[in-house]
Amino acid sequence: MFNDIIRPRRLRTSLGLRKMMRETRLSTESLIWPIFIVEGENIYQEIPSLPGQYHYSPDQLYRAVERAQAHGISRLILFGLSKEKDEIGSGAWAEDGVVQQGLRQIRKLDPDMYLITDVCMCEYTSHGHCGILCGQEVDNDQTLLRLAEIAVSHARAGADMVAPSDMMDGRVAAIRKALDDNGFQNVPIMSYAAKFASSFYGPFRDAAGSAPAFGDRRSYQMDWHNSREAMRECALDVQEGADILMIKPAMSYLDLVFQCRQRFDLPVAAYAVSGEYAMMKAAAAQGLIDEYGVMCESAVSIFRAGADILITYYAPELADAIRKGDIG
């Protein structure tokens, strides 16, 4: 029997009331925008697989900084594309490496921009894998030594935070020790704690030139059937000294964002990856979805699941939506 005393619709009767009653609120401070830096000069090219995203040579990074500033974005995560690659990915920790150049350039352009760097080797190795090879396999422990070098080189070049994405066992502890030993005790680690061997990464691998030359990454990235293992990976990273835990991808893994939020006290980040972005763009281009509405709804779902931080290619547009009050 209908109880006419209880009417939840009373709290939905106007826009102002609905905004007041929102349970999930977003802030531009929680958004991180990925940037792709390439070696060379005068390079500013749209990435075909990621419409609206660009490759920037270091001298063109002012374009990315100006765009971020115009939308109120103050946090970037930097990915580097090396022109010269070798078996051990030596360009990743070179003093004049592409990310190191980018860090110094952005720091000149905007000293207050918060700069996070991806710590991995796949964009720098000739074979496209995320570590040092021993035959056809990635040598976990040899890779740790290189990842630590990369993190320290980024910190020296001006990184505010490092984010290891390789999924090697023990890499958070190795990076933490190397940072501390070199005087970077205050540089936090945002760990890709549960990074899955996902089919959603295709556009990124095109954008970053990081597809493996043989095989795949399933021996180190996670099997997407497993949630208990994901929480074990998160727990290990907590023990090793991670400051932030990341779940990647985001939308198909909201259950794990929720579990991570419930089980751990550290801040939780989620990465809305290239495939998620590209699908929305493609559907919008066909007139099948309202891109703005779907963008807002998907972002809110990630925060509603428990994320504190969202890495997203839609960061500038989401910042505008927050400012307009559509999702704030």
Contacts of 313 (CB under 8 A, 6+ apart): 33, 34, 50, 52, 53, 272, 274, 277
Find tokens 């920790």 and name the residue: 93
Handedness of CA 50, 155, 190, 83 (dihedral sign): positive
Reduced to 3 states, what is the DSSP secondary structure of residue 163? strand
Quick check: is 248 catalytic?
yes
Spatial distance between the Cα atoms of 317 and 328, rounded to a whole number of angstroms:
13
Quick check: is 281 catalytic?
no
Contacts of 63 (CB under 8 A, 6+ apart): 44, 54, 56
Among candidates 92, 113, 94, which has minimal Cα distance to 158?
113
Spatial distance between the Cα atoms of 80 and 235, rounded to a whole number of angstroms:
29
Residue 158 identity (one-letter amino acid)? G
From the list 19, 83, 195, 281, the catalytic residue is 195
Q: For 14-73, where are the E strands, in sequence order? A: 31-38, 44-47, 50-56
From the list 177, 248, 281, 324, the catalytic residue is 248
Tokens of 313: 């290619």
At residue 152's C-alpha, the angle toward residues 193 and 73, to 5°, is: 65
Angle in degrees, 0-180, between the axes of helices 254-263 and 291-305, rounded to the nearest 10: 30
Asked if residue 217 lies in contact with residue 270, where contact means CB atoms within 8 angstroms, the answer is no
Distance of CA 63 to the CA centre of its chain: 20
Spatial distance between the Cα atoms of 28 and 71, rounded to a whole number of angstroms:
9
In order of 59, 78, 101, the CA distances from 98 in angstroms are: 11, 10, 5
Q: Catalytic residue positions?
A: 195, 248
